Amino acid sequence: MNKTLTLLSSAFLLAGASCAFAASSTDLTVTGTITPAACTPSLSNGGLVDNGKISAKDLNPTQNTELGKHPLQLTVACDASTQFALNPIDNRAGTASTSGWFGLGLTDANEKLGFVYVAVRNALADGQPASAISSEDEGLTWESTGWTIAGVLLSVGSASDSSAPIAVKDLTMDFEVQTFIAPANNLTLTDEVDMDGSATFEMKYL
């Protein structure tokens, strides 16, 4: 009798273990699409904005100092009409003196030197006027925009509809790059300080 009870108990334990294993499993699903199209982005002047040397005494002590507007043209050339976006990456993340814009690096005293604002103008999709659009939710929704910032996708919609990206073969878009220096009273400027803004525009196929 005791032997029989022992076997039955073991059977129940094994059955319970089987249920526990089933409830503790999960699936990994890998998806994606290989696209035959390829797009190449580029910026005029090699993407370089040179503000030259600025005297510390010419900086505003209590407000941001704007160092002028510098035009660059973005072009994207694709093998065929393709839906895409550009993902701006701030290579100096965390150094912008005004949050939301691209960083300009730090002084030797670890102070935020300023920030870079990039306005977007005159988008042309295959030679036709288009709307610059942006998405803050990885492409789920889109709206018209006049600037580009890190982590917010940038693309183009038709001139009459900014709710979704359109397929484009050749895109041109004007950037207006503005460099701002933080109030001089907040900075240690006893030695030369290099402006060190840097951003990468990464292709993202939609």
**pLDDT tens, 123-142?**
999 999 999 999 999 999 99
φ/ψ (deg, to 5) at 147: -155, 170
**Residue 32 forms part of a structural domain:** no
CATH number at residue 79: 2.60.40.1090
**Residue 84 forms part of a structural domain:** yes
With beta carbons less than 8 A apart as the criterion, state whether 113 and 92 touch.
no
Given this model, what pLDDT does residue 27 score?
77
With beta carbons less than 8 A apart as the criterion, state whether 83 and 167 touch.
yes
**Residue 76 forms part of a structural domain:** yes
With beta carbons less than 8 A apart as the criterion, state whether 84 and 41 touch.
no
Range of the domain at 56: 41-205
Would the pLDDT of 14 be above 50?
no
| Amino acid residing at 182 | A
φ/ψ (deg, to 5) at 163: -90, -10
* Tally of structural domains, the chain: 1
With beta carbons less than 8 A apart as the criterion, state whether 165 and 85 touch.
yes
Given this model, what pLDDT does residue 21 score?
52
**Residue 28 forms part of a structural domain:** no
With beta carbons less than 8 A apart as the criterion, state whether 185 and 169 touch.
no
158-165 own/partner pairs: CB under 8 Å, 24+ apart: 158/125, 158/130, 158/131, 159/128, 159/129, 159/130, 159/131, 161/131, 162/131, 162/133, 163/133, 164/133, 165/83, 165/84, 165/85, 165/133, 165/139, 165/206
Given this model, what pLDDT does residue 167 score?
96
Q: Which residue has the higher pLDDT, 33 or 162?
A: 162
Would the pLDDT of 6 be above 70?
no
Strands, E assignment, the chain: 39-43, 65-82, 84-90, 102-103, 114-125, 128-135, 143-144, 147-148, 153-158, 168-181, 199-205
C-alpha 152/C-alpha 140 separation (Å) is 12
**Residue 3 forms part of a structural domain:** no
**Residue 27 forms part of a structural domain:** no
Would the pLDDT of 181 be above 90?
yes
Question: Which residues in 73-85 are b (16+ Cβ under 10 Å) and which e?
Answer: ebebebeeebbbb
**Residue 105 forms part of a structural domain:** yes
